[in-house]
Structure 1
């Protein structure tokens, strides 16, 4: 029988506004519908996600988009206000991250994988993993520790290509979460980030980022016989929780389907 943790608080710490909507929003929707408190946090403020606006202008726009996307599921948006392409595992960002974790007290944490296509993502991975391990230490932050806070379950989101950028090898998930019933709300959340259509079209050569998100989740779904799936790798290092909470909550572990 599944025993839920005392605190049911999910936090995403990802690099940029819209990362959560692309990578794990379907799972966040399932958690929210199950009564979990949801927090969506970014380290950077998105100030380089434009071809025509100033840094301050696009940062204001992207903060509003982050708040709007989170509001679709009643979540709270946070930003550590670092600049795009400047995310670093430094004393200052470590302090900001520890303070955020003390304020939220996450039970369940999502972040980027250790290897990803962009260094902002990899540095965010370090910040999230470090804070998850240490935020409960009494002297880690001047902010009070919320009752029931503990080392959270930690899951790494899928890279957008589902491959390791250094080797090209496919990433093998530990956990699949069926989000077929949540895809339309996930797309609604991502559509809140309207400023990124122009940016992705100019910089990445993409004009259909919602369709690209759908394709990725459909490809992962085809591996396990579902329409749309978000895939994760669970962190199993000492002293993190060792049983797969997402699999227990949502039946999210299957044998892969043979090609």
Structure 2
């Protein structure tokens, strides 16, 4: 059996994020839809978010945020992993890349969602670079000492939306792919609520209050752009060796209520 045929029979999704709560903001609705279809889903973070608190030392904050991330992932039907890099100091180096490759090797994802290459937080951008690199090389026999899962191959790869739908310079992100999450929005809100430690931190450090309603408004805004109540959006990586078909759009075509101009786009039709 070819690796392509194996991949088509293995439905494993991995969201590689920078911090606990990033998945709940950007892609948890899509992960839930995949889980509802029988996919095995994973949420992994490069860091434990140990700088994301006003009180407590790094080890204490890390334990708290890993517990929050684990609870949120379980609520969404996913398995949580943390690679324990330092919050605010994620770098692209051999050690971080090998950790990421080993994670991919163990999970052998067939669909990967990672962070945008241009975003307000450098940790997000470096995570996206690590996710792209690991997705390309993890199936090479000599890339990891871990055993190679049969059917491991280059997965479908997507980058999630930038914070507030913009890149690091404030330019609007134009997605290639939109996934309706209207029916998942309430449970996505419950998942984000598991990260109780973050509301006060974000209010003081980033000037953001109403942690949950801000996420909902963001998803509803993206949904309004394509005629649905709520949506998550992505940019697909279709470079050399990566699958070119838009798998998410094929699995979750937008509803008939979508405006005609959206129906004509590949992300709406799944073409």
Tell me which interval the TM-score lies in, with the shorter structure as reference length: over 0.9
Q: Secondary structure at the match of 1:227?
A: coil
Q: Which residues in structure 2 correspond to 1:111-190 (within 5 Å)? A: 111-166=114-169, 168-190=170-192
Alpha-carbon distance in structure 1 between the residues aligned to 2:168 and 2:91: 19
Q: Name the TM-score, length of structure 1 as normaliser.
A: 0.95
Q: Secondary structure at the match of 2:228?
A: coil
Which of structure 1's runs of 4+ aligned residues deviate more than 4 A? none
- C-alpha offsets along residues 201-250 of structure 1, whole Å, 9 cap, x if unaligned? 11112221110100111111111000000010111101100000000000
Please, which runs of 5 or more residues in structure 2 have no aligned partner?
264-271
Alpha-carbon distance in structure 1 between the residues aligned to 2:200 and 2:57: 14
Tell me how large the CA RMSD over aligned residues is. Answer: 1.5
Q: Secondary structure at the match of 1:171?
A: coil
Q: Secondary structure at the match of 1:219?
A: helix
Alpha-carbon distance in structure 2 between the residues aligned to 1:169 and 1:74: 34
Q: Which residues in structure 2 correspond to 1:184-199 (within 5 Å)? A: 184-199=186-201
Alpha-carbon distance in structure 2 between the residues aligned to 1:66 and 1:222: 29
Q: Which residue of 2 aligns with 1:209?
A: 211
Q: Name the TM-score, length of structure 2 as normaliser.
A: 0.91
Q: Does 1:248 align with 2:245?
A: no
Alpha-carbon distance in structure 2 between the residues aligned to 1:9 and 1:33: 13
Please, which runs of 5 or more residues in structure 1 have no aligned partner?
none
Q: Secondary structure at the match of 1:237?
A: coil
Please report how far the alpha carbon of residue 74 of structure 1 lies from its aligned counterpart in structure 2 after TM superposition: 2.4
